[in-house]
Structure formats: C-alpha cells, structure tokens
Chain A
Amino acid sequence: MSEEESRPLPSAPPMAIPEPAGAFQAFDELLKTPQQVALRARQAGSNRPALLLLAGSLVAFAVYGAVAGLFTGGTQILVSALKAPLIVLLSLALCLPSLYIFSALAGAPLSRRPFLHIVAGFAGMLALLLIGLMPISWLFSVSSRSLYFVVWLHALAWIVAAAFGARFLARSLEIREAGKAVFLWLLLFALVSFQVSTWLRPVLWRAPGRPLFESGKMFFLEHLGKIAEMPVPKLEPAAKPAPATKPALPPVPKK
C-alpha cells in the first residue's frame, strides 16, 4: 500500500455505505443524501459510483446543451449538445490541479480516490441543477429573440448550479477553512468556464453556413460585449407562419 493510500482520512464512516445500483440511483442519492457520497469517498471500495456520476453528468450536460441549442434550432441543437459537456470537462480539467492544492493547503488532504468521488459529486450536482433548470431554459430558448438575454440566462443557471456544487464540495471537505478555499476556487472555475465557452464558440447561436468553431482569439467579456451589440430581430407579423429556425442574426463580428 502506498503512503498516500495509508494516510488516515478524517471522519471515516463506521459502516460501509452500499453502492448505488445504477446511474439513476447514484443521482437520487446525491439529491437526497449528498453526505453519503462524501462519506463513501472516504471508504475503501470501487470507483464505480463516481464513474456512474461522471458518465450521467456528461449525458445531462449534453441534454442541457441540446435544449440551449433550441434557441437557434436545426443542427445547432446537436452542436450545442456536443459542446456543453466539452465546456464542463475542459473547465474541470483546467481547474482540478488548483482544487487539489487549495483543499490540501486548507487542511483537507485527499488521496486520489476521495478526490475522484468528490469531484464526481461536484459534477453530478452541477448536472442535477442544470437538469432542474432545463424546463426554464427551454421556455426562454424557444421564445427569446435576444441572444444577449439568453446568454445571461444560461450564465445565471450556471452560477446557481456551480453554487450548489460548491456547497457540496465545502461540506465534503469537512474542514472549517474549506468554505473560503472552495469559494475562491468557484470564482476561478466560473471565470475559466466562461472563457472556455468563448473559446468553443458559437454555442447558442450560429448563422447558416458559419463554421462549427469560430476562429479568432477573444476574452469572454469582449465576446459578451459583441453579443450585446447584436440587434434583436423584429417580430414577424402575426399572420405569417412561424419560421422553423430563428431569423438570421448578424454574425458576431470577428476581431
């Protein structure tokens, strides 16, 4: 056994917590008794529950992305469904080293297994909240004309989901200083995810014939500024049938 694996972990549960049978049960447990996920992370056992949560989260992000893609409709539904999990995965990958170091320095040393389970729980919590907010996102995606409004709506949904994810993280780390470390890390994670979204743009709106990935490097605030400058399309007269996709917005000007 390596030194890392033999390191004593705080608050080891007295009895083994049974593993969930499938992804639905894993998410049900995360929703109703999230402390069990954190406690199981500190037990010996398989990594299957964490992998179930991660795989289920990726599916949930894809579904949320597909709903977000309804703003444009057509093939963008598929494109958004592919890009949404990519945004979360890339943001997590970039921020995991700092989460590990922040938590260790705050006094919550975690070996690989608990870290994997807690990160999976964080991703699962994000997924749960996004699925919970999905009907609202759907309503605004299919009824809004302003890209700027929809971008802010998704940003708000993302912040709400991340806040609940951070709450799970802070409780799972089980130390007094964890709240501060997690709050700082959450800010970092939010900033990185906004920049990743800009890097992988367009996610919500793509004009016909435009490429799947826009070239040109840009800071996310600059991107947001350009979206704000885009005009809101005028409403079609009531007598005309509704178009299958949104009226063409001018493309985001490239720098």
Chain B
Amino acid sequence: MANLPALLDLLLYRRDRLMDDLAAGRKLARLWTGLVLVLIPCAGLYGIVLGGWHGGMLTLFVAFKLPLVLLVTSALTMLFNFFVGSLLGLSLRFAQVAVLTFFALAVASLLLASLAPVAWFFTLSLPEPSPDARGTHNLLYLLHTFFVGACGLAGSAILWRGLVRIRGTAPNLKKAYFAWVLTFALVGGEVAWALRPFVGSVYRPIEFLRADAFQGNVYEFIFTDIIPYLWRNH
C-alpha cells in the first residue's frame, strides 16, 4: 500500500474494504500513513494553483501551507473528536478516529486535485495582480473558497457513509458526525486565517505568514470588522 496509484485505487474504488479494515481495527497505522500520503500531494497540487495567481514564492508557500492547514486542523481536533465519539457511544479507538478523519480529508484533497486544472485555467485567464485588480482578487478568493468548501462537504459526506457502515446502529451517530464536522470547520477556519495569505493581497508584499497572524482570530474579525459594517454606509 506504499505507492500512490494503489492508495488512490483504494480510496476511489475500494472504500468498503478500507472501511471493513477500519471497523475491524486492522492495519490502522498503514491506513493512516496511506491517507496522509494521498492528502499531502493532492492538497499541495491545489496549493500550487491557489498561490499561482501571484506566482513566485507564494506558489511554493501555499503548496506547503494548504496541506499544513489540513494536518494542523486534524491534529488540533482529533482528541476532542475521540472524546465526543466515546461519550456518544461510538466505541471507536483513537486510531480509528484518526483514520476516519484523514479518510474525509484525503477524499476532499483528491477532489481538490481534480479541480486543479479548472482553477488553474481561471487563474491563467484572469487579469494579473495589481492594485487595480481587487475585483479579480475577490473573484478568485470566492472561487477557491467555494471549491475548498464544496470539496470539504463532499469529504464529510463520504465520512458519513463510512460512519454508517462501521457504526450504523449507534443511536448518537448523527450527533457525533455533526460535532466532528462543526469542530473541524470552526478550527479549520481559524487555522487557515492564521496561515494566510493564500491567494495573496493586491496591496501587500508576498510573505509566508502575516506579521499579525496570531493577533486576533477570524471570528473576531467577522464580528468586529465585517458584520457591524454590513448595514452602515461607511
């Protein structure tokens, strides 16, 4: 299971076998390693396109940062997910929760990689970055947010199918699933905010991390800098 084609085959066509191994607690370390080996190049490929509008160093930075967002978010949420699963009666081991989480992320990354040609073409055919290209920046931002969000939702839908297959009779399955997805979305939003820029600002220089990366979080920004101004003229 060490090569990428075999891993992709497992993920695309033999998910039931993967789930059976997961339910039985077999080969969990190998499964987890395999999923990470799918996640990193697939998310990295999309990262190349995501940072490709500015090009240069930002392409490399984002190729590194996009997989990092997924890995860091997983690391931060895994323990909570394990506790929630246990408390709600799913009876899953920590390694099983880890594999399930990375299963959803690997599927989302694979979908993102399949959309990379489309995102690349839009990046190629839109005006290049300049202080006048704020509209293009916002458009690309919206496009990438939509693609990443949609792939995340698709990944979580696959996670749900997997959960139903291995713990279909658990009474609190839906609650556990929603708790996992909600936690991942909330934490993932903040991790992505801290690791910005991805598309790259038209006003600021390219940098790996903003100097204010950890000064304020994304939800403070939404509630103090966006929502109060929605119904004001300035």
Contacts and interface: CB of A to CB of B under 8 A. Distances in A.
Contacts of B110: 101, 105
Interface residues of A, number: 27
B120 to A, nearest CB: 8
Contacts, number: 63
Interface string B95-114: 00000000000010011011
Interface stretch (A36-44, A125-133, A190-198): A190-198
Contact of A101 (B111, B125, B127, B136): B111
Contacts of A217: 124-128
B9 A3 contact: yes
Nearest to B128: A217
Contacts of A216: 127
A4 B12 CA distance: 12
Interface residues of B, number: 25
Interface of B: 9, 12-13, 107, 110-111, 113-118, 121-122, 124-128, 135-136, 139, 150, 154, 158
10 contacts: A7-B13, A94-B118, A98-B114, A98-B117, A101-B111, A109-B12, A109-B13, A184-B150, A188-B115, A217-B126
Given A94-B118, A97-B116, A98-B118, 16 more contacts: A97-B115, A98-B114, A101-B114, A105-B107, A105-B111, A105-B158, A109-B13, A188-B118, A192-B118, A195-B121, A198-B125, A199-B125, A217-B124, A217-B126, A217-B128, A218-B127
Interface of A: 3-4, 7, 93-95, 97-98, 100-102, 104-105, 109, 184, 188, 192, 195-196, 198-199, 216-219, 222, 255
